[in-house]
Structure 1
């Protein structure tokens, strides 16, 4: 077995299961799940119809790069949504089976170990363990670094470890608007960085990168030669202003070749289709050419019925606007009904509340999620499980992530239960 598997942390939901193993949910209430970011809004019927109507094509082998029709549809969507001059459907777009798998495999494909590899196994083990826990740079010059936000989507860390790279965590706190202070990253870290993961809109904080933020990272990429991989799966769940994407920032800076920049998008959140496993990666054609070769050997290709259903989804914006309306209604409800009892911060985009734990629970996120479960039968996620401790501080500790994925009616019920809990 790959010895690096021993360095992987349990997934946040596995940690939650351990935390609640000896707890029982309140028998007074039915279960309300607000812990997992799984969309519960109805998927668009016309997409399901397209899937059903093309089931006979399941007998066909799909190509790894998908059909031209799907790539062209995605290219046109990118151009319109992010004001891009031109996206080449043949070289700058690659459909993938969901962005989680693509983000993971992308790191495996781009990390380069063609430096000194003597005693790699021993030194990598030591540097991986120390860097994950303390965020200190490794003394081994050949060990590449993957920089990522903290808190973060845990697939970034797992991808780094199994690519035999060192994760470097950039704390996202209230002091830096939950976007991370990339200017504070030491030069010696940037010099070893081969890949930077950015999540905008951010999971779990809901923060959004500005054009100035993107320009700073692009300049750093130019200086040090690393790839920027922007996870933009929540980009269509905004409230007022559509978030600026990485490729949009490239175009604004006159970089139409998207050098060293790639983005990941998905239909999971945008169209309430998490089970379709449909997304794409787009950007730098040179990077995508090599990544396509990697995926060809990996054997990942989207089934033809899924591709045709995806075309229908990407071509329609009406259902996306309706989706945003539902989330806007639920966020307004929570802010109005619980804003005086909880420290609620309205996110810029996404469907998460990143909530500071009330003082009556000793600002302890584990204590708060246990109380929600035991006294209100509400599932939430302890913030510390989405973060890593750096220099003695875990930026997720003292926070709880709540996903507003349930219906408006369930949201009203959850609010009622939480009010009772807090008032008690």
Structure 2
């Protein structure tokens, strides 16, 4: 067995199940699950219709590069969304969702053959795939804390020079999971200058980019263009899961540095990561349609409008820059105990923030927070808010 498997940490939801073992919710209250970032809005008809109209694709082996129609749809979306003219043949590659791509990309990039162990830098808190990808590639994960006094942005200045010298990949997530913080142009400029100095590749996870409140978040490639740069050493990752309420399709694409994508395509050709032709056709339909995205965004805005101010009266939180999470500080600082009591008293599940982070540099930046995913219906989110307010009043 790969010895690095032993270094993998339990996934946050495995830890959550362990936390809730033996917990008994109150009788008569329906369960409201706000712990997992799984979209619950209906999948749009434009996607379902395209799926059923292209079932013939199940009879064909897919091309790892993806169909020209899908790559053109992705390129057209990049033009509409960011004003970027992308080469659909060299700068875009369809993938089976961002999770698969984020993991496989690191396996493609990391060179562990040298005398010193390579480093992959991750924000902290973070999406657990970043850590697993680094460990299984033979790299050392290094965590850069994202604290409230730094606008929940990674404190790059805290990274020692010796770490930068070994760094091969830096993960960023904007809008961030779990904080919803968005990188500014100045943030991107700083990171690009560090990449120029140290030669690392930026893996920009942008899967929440279309869940916002009217101000579309700045993307990494968009920032590069605004700064007069090319796309060297940066690849962005995006997905239909959140944008189009289609997590079960496992569909997204990566875009950016053509030389890196050429190597990534080679890796994925052997890995077997090709997307079904049926899913490709439905994905092209999704990327070509914005009406369902606007409706989806409006539904999230309605939920934030209904609950944010009311929850802010009893918990320390604020509306995020983007995404569908609220990142709330809890009284007493024990986020796990808070989450278990909330389940036992109000039958609501939230995710302890410490499960999304690691102890690094003397602190776990998720400790004392909970992540509330506003993925349930408006009625359920409103009901959950009523219950949380009552819970806070009683504790």
Q: What TM-score results when the alignment is normalised by the length of structure 2?
A: 0.98
Three-state SS of the structure 2 residue aligned to 1:323 is helix
- Matching of residues 129-208 of structure 1 within 5 Å: 142-208=116-182
**2:95 aligned with 1:96, yes or no?**
yes
**2:380 aligned with 1:421, yes or no?**
no
- How far residue 210 of structure 1 moved from its aligned partner, in angstroms, is 0.5
Corresponding residue of 2:364: 394
Larger mean CA deviation between 317-326 and 20-29 belongs to 20-29
**2:352 aligned with 1:382, yes or no?**
yes
Corresponding residue of 2:285: 312
Three-state SS of the structure 1 residue aligned to 2:363 is coil
Q: 2:294 aligns with which of 321, 326, 342?
A: 321
Distance 2:318 2:160 in 1: 30
Distance 1:193 1:363 in 2: 33
- Matching of residues 366-381 of structure 1 within 5 Å: 366-381=336-351
Q: 2:334 aligns with which of 339, 360, 364?
A: 364
Distance 2:157 2:228 in 1: 23
Corresponding residue of 1:274: 247
Distance 1:153 1:337 in 2: 28
Tell me the C-alpha RMSD between the 2 structures: 0.9
Distance 2:19 2:372 in 1: 17
Number of aligned residues: 394
Corresponding residue of 2:382: 412
Change (3 A) 1:339 1:113: closer
Could you report, residue by residue, the CA deviation over 1:52-82 in whole angstroms, capped at 9, with x for unpaired residues?
1111220100000100110111011112211
Three-state SS of the structure 2 residue aligned to 1:280 is strand
Distance 2:227 2:38 in 1: 35
Corresponding residue of 2:9: 9
**2:4 aligned with 1:31, yes or no?**
no
Corresponding residue of 2:184: 210
Q: 1:294 aligns with which of 267, 283, 299?
A: 267
Corresponding residue of 2:304: 331
Three-state SS of the structure 1 residue aligned to 2:172 is strand
Three-state SS of the structure 2 residue aligned to 1:288 is helix
- The gaps in structure 2 that reach 5 residues or longer are none
Corresponding residue of 1:18: 18
Could you report, residue by residue, the CA deviation over 1:183-202 in whole angstroms, capped at 9, with x for unpaired residues?
22111111110000000000
- How far residue 372 of structure 1 moved from its aligned partner, in angstroms, is 1.3
Distance 1:145 1:345 in 2: 33
Distance 1:89 1:225 in 2: 26
- How far residue 392 of structure 1 moved from its aligned partner, in angstroms, is 2.7
- How far residue 230 of structure 1 moved from its aligned partner, in angstroms, is 0.2
- How far residue 113 of structure 1 moved from its aligned partner, in angstroms, is 2.1
**2:106 aligned with 1:80, yes or no?**
no
- How far residue 338 of structure 1 moved from its aligned partner, in angstroms, is 2.2
Could you report, residue by residue, the CA deviation over 1:156-175 in whole angstroms, capped at 9, with x for unpaired residues?
00000000100010000111
Distance 2:28 2:393 in 1: 17
- How far residue 27 of structure 1 moved from its aligned partner, in angstroms, is 1.7
Distance 2:333 2:164 in 1: 34
Distance 1:186 1:24 in 2: 47
Larger mean CA deviation between 89-98 and 180-189 belongs to 180-189
Could you report, residue by residue, the CA deviation over 1:18-71 in whole angstroms, capped at 9, with x for unpaired residues?
111121122231111100000001111111011011112201000001001101
- How far residue 371 of structure 1 moved from its aligned partner, in angstroms, is 1.2
Distance 1:337 1:175 in 2: 24
Distance 2:21 2:113 in 1: 45
Three-state SS of the structure 1 residue aligned to 2:111 is coil
Three-state SS of the structure 2 residue aligned to 1:56 is helix
Distance 1:49 1:73 in 2: 17
Q: Which runs of 4+ in 1 moved over 6 A?
A: none
Distance 1:314 1:372 in 2: 39
- The gaps in structure 1 that reach 5 residues or longer are 117-141
